[in-house]
Structure 1
Amino acid sequence: MMNAREALTPDALALLQTVALTGSFASAARELGLVPSAVTYRIRQIEDAMDVLLFDRSSRQARLTEAGAELLREGGRLLQEIDAVANRVKRVASGWESQLTVAVDTVISCGTVMELAQAFLEVAPATRLRLRDESLSGTLEALVTGQADLAIGVAVEPGNFPGLQTASLGELNFVYVVAPHHPLAAVPDPVPDDVLLRHRAIAVADSVRQGVAVTRGLLAGQDVLTVPSMGAKLDAQLRGLGGGFVPEPMARPYVETGRLVVKVIARSVVRAPRMTYAWRSTPAPGRALQWWLAQLESKTTRQALLQRHARA
C-alpha cells in the first residue's frame, strides 16, 4: 500500500479539486475523461494511504469531510507553489516570465490598464498576461499570497511582508453621490448620519479570501446593497438604488451631465486615500515585471490610472 507521500502527487491533488468542484465522482470523471470507477479507486487510494475519509458518501453528492477540506486547502497552496517554481525556472532560462499576473483594484481606470496590456503584449508576446479584478484588501492579498506578481491600486497599509515593495500612485478623491431622483438629493447639505441611516448604502465587497474584510463609509444598522466592483456600484447609484462614496474621476462625467448629485456628508470620513502599487522584490523581478514597473514610474501613467475613466 502507498504511503501518504506517494499518494499526494500533484495529479492526485488536482483530482481532489475536480471532485470537490463538480460535486460528484461521476461529474469529475466526465470532466477528466475517465470512467467513474477510476476516480473512485484513486480517491480510495489517497484515503487509504492517509487513513482518513476525505469525502462523505452518505448522499449522492461527494461532500468534503473536515479532513478533506483541510487537505484541499493545503493542496491548493502546494499546487500554486509547484506552478510558481516552474515559472521561476522558465524565467531563469529566458529572463521573461512565462506568465505575469496583475491584480487591479476596481477603482483603477480599466481603459488605461488595457492600453498598458496592449503595449506589453507587443513587446512580450511569449508571456501570458493575466489581469485580476480585486477590491479593497483583496488587491494586496492577491500579491501577498502569491496569486499576483503586481498589485495596482492598493488602498490598505501593506504591513511588514518580507520582500514586498510599494510605491505611490497618488491620492484618489472620493465623493458621496446619489441619483437626482433619490430622496437624499433633496436633503440640505451637510447630510447628518441619522438621515443617511434611513437610506440604503451601496458598498463594494472586499475581494479578500482570507482574513477580515474591510468596509468603509457604512453606518451600523444601515441597509446595504453589496456589489462586486466599483463599476457596479456606480451603476447601482445611477439607478437610484442607494448612495455612497465613489472616486471623483469616475463620478465626474455623470455629475457634469446631471445624472448624479454630489452630497456633503456631515460625518468626517477619509475621502482621499493614498493609493499605491506593490510588487515582490524577491526573487528579483523578471523582464516582464520590470516592464510594468518602468511604465508605473511615469507620472502621466500613474495619473491616468487614477483619473482617466470613460466619459458618460
Structure 2
Amino acid sequence: MLSEQSFELIELVAKLGSFTSAANHLNKVPSAISYAVKQIEDELGVELFERHHRSVSLTPAGEHFVHQAKSVMQSIIGLKQSTQAVNKGWRPKIAIALDGIVREDGISFLVREFYKTFSDVELHIHREQVNGCWQALNEQRCDIAIGAASNIPVGGPFEHKDLGELRWQFVVSAQHPLTVETHITAEMLQEYAGVCVSDTAADYPETRLGLAQGQRALSVPDWIRAINCVKDGLAVGCLPRHLITPFLQNGSLVNKPCDLNIADTRALLVWNRNVQNEAMRWLIDYLNNDQRLVNSWLLPN
C-alpha cells in the first residue's frame, strides 16, 4: 500500500539516480531498495524507472508520479499538522469581514444557523470601514466580506453578488444653524466640521467620504459615532440613508439640499472562490439564497 515512505523512497532514488546510491544514503543494501521499488511499481501496475547498467532514470509515468507525490506529501504534512492542532484545541475557521456600512441584524441569524450546522468550525467576524473589506480580502484576513464597496473593481480570486444600493443624504442636527437654510453651499460648509469614518484600509489611498473641499474633518471609527456626532450638532455630513431613517422620522436629524453629495453606490457580498470546503459552501449558499437575511443588511429599520 502506498505510504509516505513510498513517496520518499521514489523521490530519493530519482534524485540520486541509482539504487546503490539510495541504499548507501539509507544504510541499506541495494537489493532491499530495488525490491521495495519493485513492490511499489507492482502496486501501481507501471514501471517508474528504466534500469540501466549502473543507474536508473524515471519513465514518463515515473516523472508524473514524483511530481504528484510532492503535492501529496504536502497534503499529508498539512493533515498531520491540522490533526495535531485540533487535538490541542484548535478548530478550522472561516473569517467574515463586515463592512461598517451594513446593519448587524443578520449576523445573529447567520451565526445561530451556522453553529447549528457545524460543530467543529469557528466563525471569526470583524468590522472593517470604507475600503477595509478589500484589503482584508486581498491579505487573506477574511474569506467573505459583507457590504464591500463596489467602487473598487472586483478582480483576483473573488466572486461577488450585489447586496443592494447605498443611498446617501446630507443631514444636520435639528438644532443646527444650517436648518434655516433652503440650500447649503460648499462655502457655508467651511464653517462646520464634516463627519467622516476612518478608513481601515491602511494600504489604500485614504478615502474620506462626505467632505467638501477644504472642510475640516471630524474623523470617527464607525457610522454609529458619525450619526451621534451629527445628532449632537458636533458636525454635519452625508450619512447612509438606511442607517439614519429612524432619526429622520423622529426629527432628530434633518435632510437638507446641499452642494455636497456622495453618489449612490452598490454594496457587495464578496468571497474568495479558492476557499473550498463544506462550511464555506454552506455560508455562500445561505447568504445568496436567504432573502430575509440579505435584506437585513441594507434595508432601513
TM-score range, shorter chain: 0.5 to 0.7
1:290 and 2:284 matched: no
Q: Distance in 2 between matches of 1:245 and 1:119?
A: 35
CA RMSD of aligned residues (A): 2.4
For residue 274 of structure 1, what is the aligned residue in structure 2?
266
Q: Distance in 2 between matches of 1:192 and 1:294?
A: 46
1:140 and 2:134 matched: yes
1:117 and 2:111 matched: yes
Question: How much has 1:157 moved relative to structure 2?
Answer: 3.5
For residue 303 of structure 1, what is the aligned residue in structure 2?
295
SS in 1 for 2:208: coil
Please, which of 158, 172, 194 is the counterpart of residue 164 of structure 1?
Answer: 158
Q: Distance in 1 between matches of 2:222 and 2:261?
A: 24
Question: How much has 1:213 moved relative to structure 2?
Answer: 2.0
Q: Distance in 2 between matches of 1:99 and 1:303?
A: 26
Q: Is the CA contact 1:112–1:308 (under 8 Å) kept in the aligned structure 2?
A: no
For residue 182 of structure 1, what is the aligned residue in structure 2?
176
For residue 255 of structure 2, what is the aligned residue in structure 1?
262
For residue 207 of structure 1, what is the aligned residue in structure 2?
200
Q: Distance in 1 between matches of 2:125 and 2:300?
A: 19
Q: Is the CA contact 1:205–1:226 (under 8 Å) kept in the aligned structure 2?
A: yes
For residue 58 of structure 2, what is the aligned residue in structure 1?
none
Alignment of 1:6-155 (within 5 A): 98-155=92-149
Q: Distance in 2 between matches of 1:86 and 1:224?
A: 49
Q: Distance in 1 between matches of 2:215 and 2:112?
A: 42
Query: What are the superposed Cα offsets for residues 136-167 of structure 1, whole Å, 9 maximum, x if unpaired?
Result: 11111111110001011111444363211111
Please, which of 234, 247, 251 is the counterpart of residue 240 of structure 2?
Answer: 247
Q: Distance in 2 between matches of 1:242 and 1:255?
A: 16
For residue 8 of structure 2, what is the aligned residue in structure 1?
none
Structure 1 residues 138 and 213 mapped into 2: Cα distance closer, same or farther (>3 Å)? same
Identity %: 22
Query: What are the superposed Cα offsets for residues 214-234 of structure 1, whole Å, 9 maximum, x if unpaired?
Result: 122212221111000111111
SS in 2 for 1:136: coil
The residue type paired with residue 117 of structure 2 is V
Q: Is the CA contact 1:182–1:242 (under 8 Å) kept in the aligned structure 2?
A: no
Aligned residues: 218
SS in 2 for 1:240: coil
Q: Distance in 1 between matches of 2:282 and 2:178?
A: 46
Question: How much has 1:267 moved relative to structure 2?
Answer: 4.0
The residue type paired with residue 120 of structure 2 is A
Question: How much has 1:292 moved relative to structure 2?
Answer: 1.9
Compute the TM-score of the two structures, normalised by the length of structure 2.
0.67
Gaps of 5+ in 1: 1-84
Query: What are the superposed Cα offsets for residues 158-210 of structure 1, whole Å, 9 maximum, x if unpaired?
Result: 4363211111101021111111111122221x211111222111100011021
Structure 1 residues 254 and 185 mapped into 2: Cα distance closer, same or farther (>3 Å)? same
Structure 1 residues 267 and 232 mapped into 2: Cα distance closer, same or farther (>3 Å)? closer
Structure 1 residues 100 and 307 mapped into 2: Cα distance closer, same or farther (>3 Å)? same
Compute the TM-score of the two structures, normalised by the length of structure 1.
0.64
Runs of 4+ in 1 over 6 A off after TM superposition: none
SS in 2 for 1:305: helix
Q: Is the CA contact 1:106–1:135 (under 8 Å) kept in the aligned structure 2?
A: yes
SS in 2 for 1:167: strand
Gaps of 5+ in 2: 1-76
Q: Is the CA contact 1:113–1:305 (under 8 Å) kept in the aligned structure 2?
A: no
Question: How much has 1:308 moved relative to structure 2?
Answer: 4.6
Structure 1 residues 177 and 276 mapped into 2: Cα distance closer, same or farther (>3 Å)? same
Structure 1 residues 257 and 287 mapped into 2: Cα distance closer, same or farther (>3 Å)? same
SS in 2 for 1:133: strand
Q: Distance in 1 between matches of 2:245 and 2:95?
A: 30
